[in-house]
A and B are shown apart, each in its own frame.
Chain A
Amino acid sequence: MNRDRINKILNQIPTHFIVIFMILVWVLPTFGLLVTSLRPSQAINTSGWWTVMSPPRGSAEFTQYCAECHGANGDALPNANLTNPELVSQFPRSLQLLNALNSEIDGQPHMQNIQIPEAQAAADIAVYLRNISGIDEQPRFTFSNYIDALVGYRGTSTYQQDCAAGTASLDLACDASDLLNPRGMGRAFLNSLLVTIPATILPILFAAFAGYAFAWLDFKGRFLLFAILVGLQVVPLQMTLVPISRLYAQLGLNGTFLGVWLFHTGFGMPYAIYLMRNFLGSLPRDLFESAYLDGASHWTAFYKLVLPLAMPAIASLGIFQFLWVWNDLLVALVFLGGTTPVMTYQISNMVTSLGAGWQLLTASAFLSMLLPMIVFFALQRYFVRGMLAGAVKG
């Protein structure tokens, strides 16, 4: 075999090592979130997500102390069948279990020559018995966190169990209408869509108009105006929040979709125009000249020529603005708040004021990431292109 080739492969090893290590660091946290969101809440809080494929809690202790007589499945002794829920329900905790283990059966010690387990081991065995007897079945994976998150369930078990038992709280009807519960992620998903779609289309439309004027129409102050626009791109959002929210309060626009659409449109504008103008300006000049010579008006040129040709730029901008608005927290927090919660608001509210459990947080976070991830991986090409065109945004 070629010596140079072996050498080359050896030289590559550190590169592969670093690249793969970085990929792992980038993937593991998100992967952990996904796995956790699919585990039952009890399991989330008692073991790390990386143990998800290991045997359930107490199974090692069960094998050690009980399997010899009761069998590997717990059902070897007909009169002491551990898969029988009625029998197991007599030993809910380690205390009752230890009592039984310390007592005698037919004049013989229960455990015979096996050592009696410690309190912690006994507790683990009790959990395991409840699991195999079906009293407290703990599946490895479950979708109940997602259901709980979507309907805004805040109880101690799960939405499905509470509804089956008829003990669900008053704001839940236990039918499809719960998806619109204002505390849930289902409603927030809808609100996010209602905010994002117009807030993506409006700025692109206006920017296409303005970009056309900056690129192909002549007027006084064209260059100066555009230079100002370039400067406005980096003005921070924070600078304008207070006056706008005071103004909205007077106009009754606080908490309305219209208010948020307009705000996002205003703030998306400088970058969108900048990108549009640069893209349209790079189109061949002859195209426009011959169109005008053929007698096309400004409007026909815009409508028939500019819009179809600008599609790549529109796609880039669309993804950019979509992700920006969908992921925004600050604007939603200030102008929408709890009256029309969007997904980011709903999650931050769970963290800051409700202290929701990990099962809800992880499922909610993943729900909010679903659509952006799909958009991102499907249209990554356009996203990167828009970014390379100079991405600095409010």
Chain B
Amino acid sequence: MSSQSVPKIMKQGGLAPWLYLLPALLIMTFFIVYPMINTISLSLKNRDGSASAATTCVEGNPCWGVFENYRYALTAEFDTTSFSTFWTSFWQSSYGNTLKWIVLMVSGTVGLGLAFAVLADRVRYEALAKAIIFMPMAVSFVGAGIIWKFVYDYGTQQVQIGLLNSIITSLGGQPIAFLSVPQINTLALVVVGVWIWTGFCMTILSAALKAVPDEVLEAARVDGATEWTVFWRIMVPIIMPTITVVVTTMVINVLKLFDIVYVMTGGNFGTDVIANRMYTEMYINFNVGRGTAVAVVLVLAIIPFIYFNIKRFLAQEEMR
């Protein structure tokens, strides 16, 4: 039991705690727990949930029986005729893209956030600088999508009204259709994500950095350590627990990310991600079974982080 003890006098009144908990428990059971169970059962059904998924199997095609929707969710995007076609199709699929998002966006936000937290600490306009980097957190993904769609605008032969292509053409280059050329477009979307979430990482990492005792840093500097060594050998190890938390939080955020892709490309031109694919299956193709199967796959990917979250919580409680 937790080390945080409750005053003795409160041990009476058996029913009262439950009355305080009732509204919250009711609404969470109804909106989180029940739907989760229901989603799992729907993922084993056909397109309107009226019969088993096994009935949707087609003669002569591979079939996973009651897990047919999972076969679709896991394999439909891949071309398995040979290893090389599989490899190409993987990196165009929602799974390959989600993986790209995770690697690029998490390293981008955490790297830039950490760098900015360290550098802004040394300038006098720190508060203003941090507020500006943090500002996109207040803007909706939809708003951010419009802002960047305009930056990426492809324009015409005569005139470029998008900032990026205007810079490229004025340097003598050819304009790039950032949102429709495969591979470049996913990168272009990730940039938008990084723009939004760097402020989040920076704020949390900056708070951790400020908690590093000055004496430790000064001692190292007096011993002749360069700023670079101080950063890598002292700051980073001390704030490592915070970095881990930020990285896991960002991975979860990226896995659930939907709006940017939906607004900017709609998942077309090889930019689909798992969260958008679930929406497409469910609300555009109206296939309940497939939509929920994709959702379950998404949750399976998140489960390790749920576990991590609870473990971290338990460790925190130990320290209280």
Contacts and interface: CB of A to CB of B under 8 A. Distances in A.
Pairing of A with B: yes
B146 A344 contact: no
A343 B39 CA distance: 29
Interface string B1-36: 110101101110110111011011101101111111
A164 interface: no
In terms of DSSP, what is the predominant structure of the interface of chain B? helix
Nearest to A327: B140
Given A32-B150, A223-B2, A233 B309 contact: yes
Interface of B: 1-2, 4, 6-7, 9-11, 13-14, 16-18, 20-21, 23-25, 27-28, 30-36, 38-39, 42, 49, 112, 115-116, 119-120, 122-123, 129, 131-143, 145-151, 159-163, 166, 195, 200, 203-204, 207, 245, 249, 252, 255-256, 258-259, 262-263, 266, 275, 278-279, 282-283, 288, 291-292, 295-296, 298-299, 302, 305-307, 309-310, 313-314, 320
A240 interface: yes
Contacts of A387: 200, 203-204
Given A46-B161, A231-B307, A344-B259, 6 more contacts: A236-B256, A236-B299, A265-B31, A281-B320, A362-B150, A384-B134
A44 B256 CA distance: 35
13 contacts: A27-B132, A28-B163, A235-B302, A237-B256, A240-B36, A344-B142, A347-B146, A365-B142, A369-B140, A373-B139, A384-B134, A387-B203, A388-B207
Contacts of A237: 256
Contacts of A44: 161
B252 A234 contact: yes
A235 B31 contact: no
Q: How large is the interface on A (under 10, 10 to 19, 20 to 34, 35 or more residues)?
A: 35 or more
A281 to B, nearest CB: 6
Contacts of A348: 142, 145, 262-263
In the A-B complex, the 5 residue pairs with the smallest Cβ-Cβ separation, listed nearest first, are A266-B31, A327-B140, A240-B35, A376-B138, A243-B38
Given A30-B147, A352-B263, A391 B249 contact: yes
A209 B21 contact: yes
Interface of A: 12, 15-16, 18-19, 22-23, 25-30, 32-33, 36, 44-50, 206-207, 209-210, 212-214, 216-219, 222-223, 225, 227, 229-244, 246, 262-263, 265-267, 269-270, 273, 281, 285, 288-289, 292-293, 298, 302, 323, 326-330, 333-334, 343-344, 347-348, 351-352, 358, 361-362, 364-366, 368-369, 372-373, 375-377, 380, 383-384, 387-388, 390-392, 394
